[in-house]
Structure 1
C-alpha cells in the first residue's frame, strides 16, 4: 500500500495477518522468574484501510509468553470490535460505545484482560488474545473508560474515569479488587478539555486539563484541537465517597499532557505531579503527524519535555517548571510506587523537532537528577518499557524492563529484557515478524508478586 500517512509507514507500517509462533529463538538468558505474558497494544488498520488519524487505526494486541526461561509463543490478534468491521462511532441514537478501536492499552484486573480506548467501553480478551466482547462491569459502567486506569498497589482497587466532550464532561469510577464497580460520580467543574490520563496519590485523585479541547470543526475524526481560550488546569479531588464535592481546580501554564509519570504527597503534604508536556508548537507538530498533514514533525512526539508541578493545597499555589530537556514520552515506573514517592522513572527518548538525537530507553534518578540512556541502535524504535519487579526485590529498581523493538533494517522485531538497575541487556527474544510501533502494554504475571 502506497501512502503519505506517516502512521502507516516506517516503524508504524501495519502487519497484514494474525500469526502464532512457538519456541522463539533467544539470545542470552531469560530469568526463570519471568513467568507470564507480556502484552502490548497498538493501532493496526486492516489492509486497504487508511484511517484519517493515527488514533483511529484498529487495535491489535501482540503477546509473548515467557516461562521457565523459554519464550513459548508469540501471537498477534486484532481486537474484534464493531469498528473493525466498519461500524461508526456516531449513530442516530448517539455514540456507540462498543464501536471502539480498542487500540491504546491492555490491562488485567481481577482476572479479566481489557483492551482499552478512551472514547469507548473496554473489550475483554481471553488468554489467547481472542475477543470475548465489550465489557461494562455487569451493566454498571455507562460512560467510556479511560485507557489509563490506575490500580492502587495497596488496596487493589482500579480507579478510572470516563470523559466526554459534552456534559457530563468527567465521571470518576472505582472498581474493587474483585472487579465490581462500586463507585461512580460526576466530577463538578470539569470542561470539554481532553483528559487522556490522570494521577492517583495515597489521598487524592488528580485530573489534568490542558489547552487541547473539543473542537467540532476538526474533521480528522478526532474532534479536538489546541485552544488558547481553554484554560489549563489541575483538579485535585480527595479520595473517598464524598471527594467530588471537595474538588479544587488550580490554574497552570499553557500546555498539554498525555501521560502522567507519577504523583504523590511529599513530607509537607504538597502534591508532586510529573509528566511529559508539549507547548502549542509541540502539539501542532505532533497533531499534524498524527493526521498526516503538512507542517508535521518528523516524529509522532515533538517538544515533549518532563514537567514538575508542586501543588500546595494550603497556600493554594502551584509551582511548575521543566526538569529535563530531553524529548520523551511513554513514562513508566515500578508500579508498587504508584501514588507514592518514587526515585526512578523510565521513558522513551525521541529525536528532537529537527530530527536530531536517536531513540532510546531513559532511566531517571529523581534523587540525584541523573539520567541514563540505553541506545537501541540505528533505525530501531523501542516500545514503552514495562517494569517487572524481581522476586525478593529490596530496592525500587531491582527488576527488569520489557520492550519490543521495531528494526527497520532487518524488517524484524525483538523483545528486549533489560536489567532495570543498569539498563544492561539480559536477553533478546526474536519475534516471527516486525511488530509495528505501538502504544501501551502490561506484564501479566502467572502469580502476583509480593513486595519485600
Structure 2
C-alpha cells in the first residue's frame, strides 16, 4: 500500500515543479525585450552551411506587461496581443548576426512614452482579446501619428520589400538591413479599386505566392455599406502585383443584413447567415479553395458606434459548433466559382500544410479544430495545458468532377502531443504539388518539439523534447540545386528558459539532426510566424558588427602608432 505521506510529498514536489515551470515561462517566454540593437556577431556552435544566405525573420512579442499584475487592463492576457517586434538572424557564409527592434507604431509609441512599463502605460490601445484600460484608451484615441496596426503575425515579401502583417488590409514596412520601421505599407491602388463605401474586414494573415514566386494572393471580406438596410458580405480574392492590389474573383459570403434588426445589447439573430473568419486558404495548380470558419462576425456589434471600445475578436465574433464549415472553390483560369462543399460539423482551420490535384481528385491538407481554439491561447491557459483541445492534421479529398467531399483523413493520428501547430512545407518547390513532408511544432503545454511528418505514412522524426528549450515555427530552406523534397535545412528560433537567451537552430532536412545553432545575446520571447528571405551578399564579405568594427579600428590605430615610432 502506498504511504500517504510519500504520496503527499510527491504531489507537493510535482506542484512546486509545475509552479516553477510556469514562473519560468512567464519570466522568459512571455517576458519583455529590454534592449534593441543593430546586427551583431553572435556565437555559432556546430556547423552552419555556407550556402545559407539571407535573413531569418521572426515575429516576436516584445512585451505582454507584468503578468504578476492582478489589475485588469494593465497587462496583455492573450498571446495574440503582444507588442510587435521583429528579430532577425542574418546568415552569410557560415557566419550569423542577430538584430531585434520594435515596430514603431502607435501602440509602441504609447508604451515607449511610459518607459516601456505597462504598469504605467496600461493597455491604452485596441486589442484582439486582452482587456484594455478605457480611461487610458480615451486619453490616446486621437493619437494617429504612427501606423495604427500591431503587425505581429506574419511577413509578406512584396517584390524586394517586406511587410509585417496582422490581418489588416495593410501592414508595416521595415528595412531588412536595419529593421527600422518605414511606416504603413503604401499600395498604389485606392481602396482595392473599389468604391469608397466598401469596408474591409479579415484579410487572412497567410498569403500564397504564384508560380513566379512574386505575385501574392489573398482574400479579404468586403462589406457593402452603401445601404445599411441590406449589407452584403463578399469575399474578394485579390492579387498583389507591382504594389497594386487587383481583384481576381468575388463570391457572396453572407447577407443581406439589416442593421435595424440589431437591438441594444444583442447579437445578429441568424448565426448561420454571418460572414465567417478566415486565417488561411488553399491553393492548388488550378484552384483556390476558401474555408470560412465557425467563428462568425456579429455585424450588430461591429457597426454599432454607440458601443464602448472592446477587444475586437473577443466581442465581435461568436464561435458556433453547429454551423457547417463552407469551402468555396474558385478556378484560377476563369476566376469563377466552380463549386463548393461543406462539412456537417463546425470546424476551425488555422494553418495549411499543402493542397494539390491528382487523377481527378483534390487533396487539401490543413490543421483543424473542433472547439474554440483561439480561446485556448490565453497566456494562463497555455501554462495549464491543452485540457481536451486537440489539433487534427486533416486531409480533405474532393472529387473535382462534382466537388463532392469523398474522404476525410487524419494524417498524424498517433502522437504524444494533443496540440501541434505552425505547419510548413518545402513551399518553394512543392506548393500546390504532391508532397511527402510537413514540419510543425508540438506543444505540451508550451512548444517543446520540432516535428518532421511523413504525410503518406503518418511517421515522424523529432527534434526534442527538451524541458528548457522552446522552439518556434520551423521553416524549410531548400539547398541550391537540390532535387529531393527534403534536401535543405530547417530553421527554427528557440528560447532557452535556463539562460533567457534566444537562438536559431539549423537542422538537416533529411535526417532532422541538428547541424548547428547560433545564440543571441538576449531574450527572444514568444512570437508567431517566421520567414526566410533569401539574399546573396557580396562573396567573401561579412558585415562587421559595431563591436568588431571598434576592435578593428583600435588595432589599426595601434599599428599606425607602432609604424610612426619606427
Shift of 1:103: 0.2
Contact 1:98 1:121 in 2 (8 A): no
Q: Deviations over 1:4-47 (max 9, x none)?
A: 99996552323233233511100112111111110011333475
Determine whether 1:78 maps to 2:102: yes
Shift of 1:97: 12
Q: How does 1:302-341 map to 2 (within 5 A)?
A: 302-318=389-405, 319-325=407-413, 326=415, 327-335=419-427, 336-341=429-434
Shift of 1:133: 1.3
Shift of 1:136: 4.1
Aligned to 1:416: 505
Q: Distance in 2 between matches of 1:129 and 1:159?
A: 25
- Greater shift, 231-240 or 436-445, is seen at 231-240
Shift of 1:50: 1.9
Contact 2:146 2:183 in 1 (8 A): no
Q: Deviations over 1:387-439 (max 9, x none)?
A: 10011101010000000111112212211011011111111101111211211
1:22 is matched with which residue: 40, 52, 71?
40
1:67 is matched with which residue: 92, 106, 115?
92
Gap regions ≥5 residues in structure 2: 1-21, 67-73, 111-123, 128-136, 193-199, 224-230, 255-273, 303-308, 538-566
Higher helix share: 2
Counterpart of 1:359 in 2: which secondary structure? strand
Counterpart of 1:55 in 2: which secondary structure? helix
Aligned to 2:295: 212
Q: 1:74 to 1:164 in 2, by over 3 A?
A: farther
Counterpart of 1:22 in 2: which secondary structure? strand
Alignment length, in residue pairs? 432
1:272 is matched with which residue: 337, 342, 363?
363
Shift of 1:122: 1.7
Determine whether 1:183 maps to 2:247: yes
Aligned to 1:233: 326
Q: Distance in 2 between matches of 1:192 and 1:67?
A: 46
Determine whether 1:137 maps to 2:187: yes
Shift of 1:339: 1.1
Contact 2:157 2:163 in 1 (8 A): yes
Aligned to 1:437: 526
Shift of 1:376: 4.7
Q: Distance in 1 between matches of 2:312 and 2:252?
A: 28
- Greater shift, 250-259 or 219-228, is seen at 219-228
Q: How does 1:89-238 map to 2 (within 5 A)?
A: 99-127=148-176, 128-142=178-192, 143=200, 145-154=203-212, 156-163=214-221, 167-176=232-241, 178-189=242-253, 191-215=274-298, 216=301, 220-222=311-313, 223-238=316-331
- Greater shift, 437-446 or 186-195, is seen at 186-195
Q: Deviations over 1:31-83 (max 9, x none)?
A: 11111110011333475762353212221110111101111x21111122234
Aligned to 2:62: 44
Counterpart of 2:55 in 1: which secondary structure? strand
Q: How does 1:380-399 map to 2 (within 5 A)?
A: 380-399=469-488
Counterpart of 1:406 in 2: which secondary structure? strand
Q: Distance in 2 between matches of 1:87 and 1:270?
A: 47
Shift of 1:289: 3.6
Q: Which has more radius of gyration?
A: 2
Shift of 1:117: 0.4
Q: Distance in 2 between matches of 1:301 and 1:182?
A: 42
Aligned to 2:340: 248
TM-score between both structures, scaled by the size of structure 2: 0.69
Contact 1:125 1:132 in 2 (8 A): yes
Q: 1:124 to 1:155 in 2, by over 3 A?
A: closer
- Greater shift, 60-69 or 7-16, is seen at 7-16
Shift of 1:347: 0.6
Shift of 1:118: 0.7
Contact 1:40 1:441 in 2 (8 A): yes
TM-score between both structures, scaled by the size of structure 1: 0.85
Gap regions ≥5 residues in structure 1: none
1:34 is matched with which residue: 52, 60, 82?
52
